[in-house]
């Protein structure tokens, strides 16, 4: 029999439906891989029983001749930012360790309703704050990739969805959920040679997802192919009255309408994205991507996104400001960690709980956010940052008069060694320089593997589309995927 863990979402779903293998056989195979890969630290909690329970339900439905869901028989990893009823949900933070929700997030419930099963809760940067998965209270996730030119240095799987990217790349799961606030689906996907799409803001409900920055957070799928991402996004998306920012729009059949023929499409190449410090091999892969899209029939045009250089600093004002507000609820009173020193008053308890419960990066962003929202600095920082955000949005609106999509690198470098940038927050923040503009504008954006660099590490290309035009992004992603022919995978060392 084929190694079931080498199969993606569509072949698993179709194989289960056809009776080629059972959903239980698939779940058992992936459960075994999860159990054997503890060294990667991709999972905070494994839930093999949940995967088997869902698989048995799918097998029973098939035997009874009942219609099967969009994700029937597909076991997935769930980023530990999504509330899961009866299963610990921590956001990778000590302050939520042991918290077991009595409710299910909308996105995860949609996936279970579609027939998916849960392999476990995936590790991440604490409260989704980080670009290397080094801020988790539960330890670093280690990328399954190694440099081909020697050395066994542990590499970053990207962040914040590093557990998701590592699990999919290492064949611990055929797909996983991620969330993207400023690149946290796209950057880890690029680092580990998989696909990941951040849909238009509002496509997927945020209800039941632990909040970081509410005007930016958006859930999306991470998988090994564009088609698998399209299928999973169909299952995840949809209007939710419990989320006031949810889009009341029908969910298209993205997977059925995939088409790599780009004739009549114009692809914009923003010259502002050719930034100093970008790896030359990244720029070469960008040029290769341009050639691939031309080959697919697209016309390539030069465009300008003039406020790009201000996007990253604006993001690192807006996002911490929203985080400082969202994280105020973790006070030791209602749920999660409580530190109560002897003789302490209420204020002392707040301080002790938050000091012990939050990691350094989370504290850093809370302090920044509190500072920029304070009375003397609100207009100087937060108001200015929101104005810049509007200018970034307008840049894209003007660009759409010239093109249908934007092609850019996903990241300025390939994956780096764990510890290489952890002492320099600014160097770490620069990882998001190409990803943040689409987040500020709320646009759909996807990373697709483009090849390997000279060290044998994956590189990703990013496609950004108009609001609500996930189909165009997926189609262009498919065109790149077909021409890149990316089949590389990490050699098992764990």
Give the bridge partners for 122, in sequence order. 43, 79
What whole-number distance in Å separates Cα of residue 311 and Cα of residue 219?
Answer: 21
Give the 3-state secondary structure of residue 379. Answer: helix
Enumerate residues 6+ apart whose C-beta is below 8 A from 449.
Answer: 190, 193, 194, 195, 458, 459, 460, 481, 484, 486, 488
CA dist list (Å): 344 to 96, 329, 337, 349, 351: 21, 20, 16, 6, 10
Kind and range of the H or E run holding 77: strand 75-79
Residue among 29, 161, 156 at smallest CA distance from 92: 161
As to burial, measured by CB atoms within 10 angstroms (0-12 exposed, 13-18 middle, 19+ buried), residue 177 is: buried
As to burial, measured by CB atoms within 10 angstroms (0-12 exposed, 13-18 middle, 19+ buried), residue 471 is: middle
Among 108, 132, 143, 160, the active-site one is 160
Is 160 one of the catalytic residues?
yes
Is 79 one of the catalytic residues?
yes
Among 10, 79, 121, 265, the active-site one is 79
Which phi-psi region, left, alpha or beta, contains residue 234 (left: φ > 0; alpha: ψ -120 to 50)? alpha
Residue among 444, 436, 451 at smallest CA distance from 485: 451
What whole-number distance in Å separates Cα of residue 182 and Cα of residue 475?
Answer: 23
Among 131, 165, 184, 439, the active-site one is 184
Give the 3-state secondary structure of residue 456. Answer: coil
Is 164 one of the catalytic residues?
no
Q: Which positions are annotated as active-site residues?
A: 79, 160, 184
């Amino acid at each position: 029999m084929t190694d079931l863990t080498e199969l993606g979402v569509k072949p698993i779903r179709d194989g289960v439906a056809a009776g080629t293998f059972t959903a239980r056989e698939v779940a058992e195979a992936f459960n075994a891989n999860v159990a054997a890969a503890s060294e990667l630290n991709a999972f905070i909690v494994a839930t093999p029983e949940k995967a088997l329970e869902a698989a048995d339900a799918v097998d029973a439905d098939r035997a009874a001749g009942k219609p099967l869901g969009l994700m029937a028989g597909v076991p997935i990893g769930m980023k530990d930012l999504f509330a899961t009823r009866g299963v610990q949900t921590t956001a990778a933070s000590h302050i939520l360790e042991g918290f077991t929700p009595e409710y299910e997030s909308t996105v995860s419930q949609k996936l279970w309703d579609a027939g998916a099963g849960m392999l476990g809760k995936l590790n991440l940067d604490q409260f989704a704050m980080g670009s290397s998965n080094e801020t988790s209270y539960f330890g670093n996730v280690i990328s399954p990739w190694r440099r081909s030119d020697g050395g066994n240095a542990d590499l970053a799987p990207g962040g914040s969805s590093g557990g998701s990217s590592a699990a999919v790349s290492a064949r611990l799961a055929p797909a996983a959920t991620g969330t993207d606030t400023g690149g946290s689906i796209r950057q880890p996907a690029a680092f580990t040679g998989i696909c990941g799409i951040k849909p238009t803001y509002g496509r997927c409900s945020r209800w039941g997802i632990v909040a970081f920055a509410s005007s930016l957070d958006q859930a999306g799928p991470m998988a090994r192919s564009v088609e698998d991402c399209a299928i999973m996004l169909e299952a995840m998306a949809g209007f939710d009255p419990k989320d006031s920012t949810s889009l009341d729009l029908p969910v298209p059949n993205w997977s059925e309408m995939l088409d790599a023929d780009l004739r009549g499409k114009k692809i914009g190449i923003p010259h502002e994205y050719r930034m100093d410090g970008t790896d030359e091999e990244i720029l070469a892969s960008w040029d290769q991507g341009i050639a691939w899209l031309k080959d697919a029939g697209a016309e390539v045009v030069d465009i300008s996104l003039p406020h790009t250089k201000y996007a990253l600093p604006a993001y690192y004002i807006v996002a911490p400001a929203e985080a400082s507000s969202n994280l105020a609820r973790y006070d030791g009173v209602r749920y999660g960690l409580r530190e109560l020193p002897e003789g302490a008053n209420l204020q002392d308890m707040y301080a002790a709980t938050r000091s012990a419960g939050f990691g350094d990066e989370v504290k850093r962003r809370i302090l920044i956010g509190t500072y920029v929202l304070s009375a003397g600095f609100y207009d100087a920082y937060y108001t200015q940052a929101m104005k810049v955000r509007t200018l970034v949005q307008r840049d894209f609106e003007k660009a759409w008069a010239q093109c249908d999509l934007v092609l850019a690198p996903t990241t300025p470098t390939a994956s780096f060694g764990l510890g290489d940038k952890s002492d320099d927050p600014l160097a770490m923040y620069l990882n998001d320089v190409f990803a943040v503009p689409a987040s500020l504008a709320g646009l759909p954006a996807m990373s697709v593997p483009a090849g390997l660099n000279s060290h044998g590490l994956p590189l990703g290309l990013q496609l950004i589309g108009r609001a609500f035009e996930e189909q165009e992004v997926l189609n262009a992603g498919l065109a790149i995927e077909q021409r890149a022919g990316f089949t590389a995978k990490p050699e098992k060392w764990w």
